[in-house]
């Protein structure tokens, strides 16, 4: 049973409470109303962008005076704000206690066409101020639409740990190097390849600052690749067993830079959504006992897209190197002259062990872990197993794609001498909210699942290391 690759449109953007916008204010005028500590913070923030900041406060606090003394682009006017003050401003910020003045400021700003933010007054504000991670020129804003600033600050703290301060040096290097890369006579595809290499190097060596030698080396690498006939790039990414949090950071970065994503049926939408919105998504699903795209077509499509100069991500469920037909796709790409990068993923056997809370190995009872698939490429039961090894009570066996052939597998293992009470588990959709575990022995597990409707991917784990779970 075959089907054709199916291009899938990216879902429309879900509703947005606010539109995140990064406003260039250098040299422009920003108006701030208020003289307290909260207003001082807004003054410092606006001044840090290079804006000319006019502050209107009858009684400015010491912190505000300190900022004005330290920054030559801040001017304090010891009076209330007036309608004329809004004319020509790029933005207005305010911390106003009096309701009447807040309402007037809103009306004056609206009349002058100036966007206004008033702290704790969303009904009178045109925009909100989010929490900021400052690695300028890399700036990350976090907003809850004004619903919970404390929560936004907590999210910012988490992001701070993922983006260390040293990342600022890489962001600044990108800003300085961009015109130099443009002047290097690399064409568009080669320049894009340069920035992909730059990003990989930044994440790999995040704790150090970039050097000019790095730029030279990256340009030469991009130029060398540009001179070959193979211009595209293919990255094979393991999507993991289903939980999007089990996708690796490296896999996430690959998705973020993809032009095209070829994905399997078992890859959940929550992981596919991590690809950039402009990326083309093509479903090339292969599933046992169901209509599937022929492997030859998938391999040919990968080569075709790479020849077009695309940055292609081949997204496979679990780990692509374990029963994922990766060898055939790797061989086709290499024969066509393309290199392929492989990003491993969490395989279903590990997710199954986590689901039942059991180690798959044990120093006393299981010093060997073996992975098998319980059906051939023709969807038949394999007859060429080393049955003695599978029946060995000192091993744990992880059975992929074994739900339909479980009765025959059980019969043969018992025939080869496996103990009837050997622990066996069937785990459906491991790591997902729909995870289900059926516990039994190698003798009775087939009967326990015979009447069940199994819709998700299934893993069977067998062995004494699982005893007591």
List residues with catalytic annotation.
Answer: 264, 286
- The set of residues, in sequence order, having a beta carbon less than 8 Å from that of 4 and lying 6+ positions away, is 293, 297
Peptide bond connecting 137 to the previous residue in cis, omega within 30 degrees of 0: yes
CB–CB of 369/361 below 8 Å?
yes
Q: Which two tokens stand for residue 321?
A: 């190197």
Q: How many CB atoms lie within 10 A of CB 138?
A: 15
Q: What are phi and psi of 234, to 5 degrees?
A: -125, 130
Name which of 27, 154, 155, 182 is nearest 91 in CA terms. 27
**Triad 90, 66, 93: Cα angle to 5°:** 25
| Paired sense of beta strands 260-263 and 368-373, if any | unpaired
Distance from C-alpha of 207 to C-alpha of 164, rounded to nearest angstrom:
8
Burial of 441 (0-12, 13-18, 19+ CB in 10 A): middle
Tokens representing 45?
């923030």
Q: Is 51 left (phi over 0), alpha (psi -120 to 50) or beta?
A: beta
Record the tokens describing residue 9, joined without a space: 């449109």
Please tell me the distance from the alpha carbon of residue 397 to that of residue 463, in angstroms, as a whole number.
6
Report how far residue 229's alpha carbon sits from residue 314's, in angstroms, rounded to the nearest whole number: 21
69 contacts: CB under 8 Å, gap ≥ 6: none
Q: CB-based burial of residue 287 (10 Å sphere; 0-12 exposed, 13-18 middle, 19+ buried)? A: middle
Rg, the chain, Cα only: 30
Q: Residues with Cβ < 8 Å from 226, sequence gap 6 or more?
A: 186, 187, 189, 190, 193
- Where on the phi/psi map is residue 54: left (φ > 0), alpha (ψ -120 to 50), or beta? beta
Q: In what order do the strands lie in the sheet with 458-462?
A: 368-373, 395-400, 458-462, 423-428, 436-441
């Amino acid at each position: 049973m075959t089907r054709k690759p199916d291009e899938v449109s990216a879902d429309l953007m879900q509703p947005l409470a606010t539109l995140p916008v990064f406003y260039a204010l250098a040299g422009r005028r920003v108006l701030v109303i208020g003289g307290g500590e909260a207003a001082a913070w807004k003054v410092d923030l606006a001044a840090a962008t290079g804006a000319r900041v006019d502050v209107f406060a009858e009684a400015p606090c010491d912190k505000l005076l300190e900022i004005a003394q330290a920054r030559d682009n801040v001017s304090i006017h010891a009076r209330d704000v007036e309608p004329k003050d809004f004319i020509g401003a790029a933005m207005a910020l305010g911390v106003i206690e009096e309701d009447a003045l807040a309402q007037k400021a809103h009306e004056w700003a609206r009349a002058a066409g100036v966007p206004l933010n008033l702290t704790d007054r969303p009904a009178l504000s045109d925009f909100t101020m989010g929490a900021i991670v400052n690695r300028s020129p890399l700036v990350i804003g976090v907003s809850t639409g004004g619903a919970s600033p404390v929560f936004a600050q907590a999210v910012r703290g988490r992001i701070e740990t993922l983006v260390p301060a040293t990342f600022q040096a890489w962001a600044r290097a990108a800003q300085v190097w961009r015109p130099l890369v443009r002047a290097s006579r690399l064409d568009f595809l080669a320049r894009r390849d340069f920035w992909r290499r730059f990003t990989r190097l930044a994440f790999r060596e995040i704790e150090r600052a970039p050097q000019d030698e790095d730029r030279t080396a990256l340009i030469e690498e991009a130029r060398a690749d540009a001179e070959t006939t193979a211009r595209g790039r293919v990255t094979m990414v393991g999507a993991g067993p289903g939980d999007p949090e089990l996708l690796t950071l490296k896999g996430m970065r690959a998705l973020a830079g993809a032009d095209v994503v070829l994905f399997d049926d078992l890859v959940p939408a929550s992981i596919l959504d991590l690809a950039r919105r402009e990326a083309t998504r093509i479903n090339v699903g292969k599933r046992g006992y169901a209509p599937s795209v022929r492997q030859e077509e998938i391999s040919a499509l990968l080569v075709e897209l790479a020849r077009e100069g695309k940055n292609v991500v081949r997204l496979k469920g679990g780990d692509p190197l374990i029963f994922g037909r990766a060898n055939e796709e790797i061989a086709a790409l290499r024969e066509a002259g393309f290199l392929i990068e492989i990003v491993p993923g969490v395989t279903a056997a590990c997710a199954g062990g986590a689901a039942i809370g059991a180690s798959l190995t044990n120093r006393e009872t299981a010093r060997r872990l073996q992975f098998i698939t319980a059906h051939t490429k023709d969807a038949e039961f394999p007859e060429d197993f080393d049955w003695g090894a599978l029946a060995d009570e000192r091993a744990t066996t992880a059975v992929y794609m074994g739900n339909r052939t479980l009765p025959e597998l059980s019969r043969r293992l018992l025939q080869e001498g496996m103990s009837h009470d050997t622990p066996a588990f069937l785990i459906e959709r491991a790591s997902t909210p729909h995870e289900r575990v059926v516990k039994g022995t190698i003798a009775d597990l087939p009967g326990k699942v015979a009447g069940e409707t199994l819709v998700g991917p299934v893993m069977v784990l067998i062995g004494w290391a699982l005893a007591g779970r």
